[in-house]
């Protein structure tokens, strides 16, 4: 009987985790409550930091390099990042199905491209 319960439990567990998509992020960012707005900004800032740190680990972030998606100005504000990502998702509806961190990278890349020599 225990084996049956274990097998049934294993089958009830999904085989893949659902990804947090650009569409999910955009829905979160359209909510007006403080918790949702904070979560939206935190996700975008965290994804931006993650991409930045990954690029740094593979060769640096001091200028346009292979794989560098964006160059944030030192005075960039959280709301500017959120606005840039939401605009990119709105202008490119296919991005809604992408992983949310990919949507963040693409949106920030459009709004804050790296200039050659920077």
Q: Is 7 part of any domain?
A: no
Q: Is 84 part of any domain?
A: yes
Q: What is the mean pLDDT of residues 64-78?
A: 76
Q: How far apart are CA 109 and CA 68, in angstroms?
A: 9
Q: Are 26 and 91 contacting, i.e. CB atoms less than 8 angstroms apart? A: no
> To the nearest whole percent, how much of the chain has pLDDT over 90?
56
Give the model's pLDDT for residue 13. 42
Q: Is 66 part of any domain?
A: yes
Model pTM score: 0.74
Give the model's pLDDT for residue 18. 65
Q: Is 43 part of any domain?
A: yes
Please, which residues bridge with residue 21 across strands?
99
Give the model's pLDDT for residue 69. 73
Domain that holds residue 49: 20-111
Q: How far apart are CA 59 and CA 12, in angstroms?
A: 43
Q: Is 44 part of any domain?
A: yes
Most confident of 51-60, 63-72, 80-89, 107-116: 80-89
Total domain count for the chain? 1
Gyration radius (Cα) of the chain, Å: 18
């Amino acid at each position: 009987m225990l084996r049956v319960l274990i097998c049934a439990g294993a089958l009830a567990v999904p085989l893949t985790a659902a990804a947090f998509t650009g569409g999910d992020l955009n829905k979160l960012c359209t909510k007006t409550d403080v918790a949702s707005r904070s979560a939206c900004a935190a996700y975008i800032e965290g994804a931006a930091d993650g991409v930045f740190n990954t690029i740094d680990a593979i060769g640096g972030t001091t200028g346009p390099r292979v794989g560098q998606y964006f160059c944030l100005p030192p005075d960039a504000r959280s709301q500017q990042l959120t606005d840039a990502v939401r605009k990119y998702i709105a202008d490119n509806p296919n991005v809604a199905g992408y992983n949310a961190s990919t949507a963040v990278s693409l949106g920030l890349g459009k709004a804050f491209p790296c200039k050659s020599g920077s």
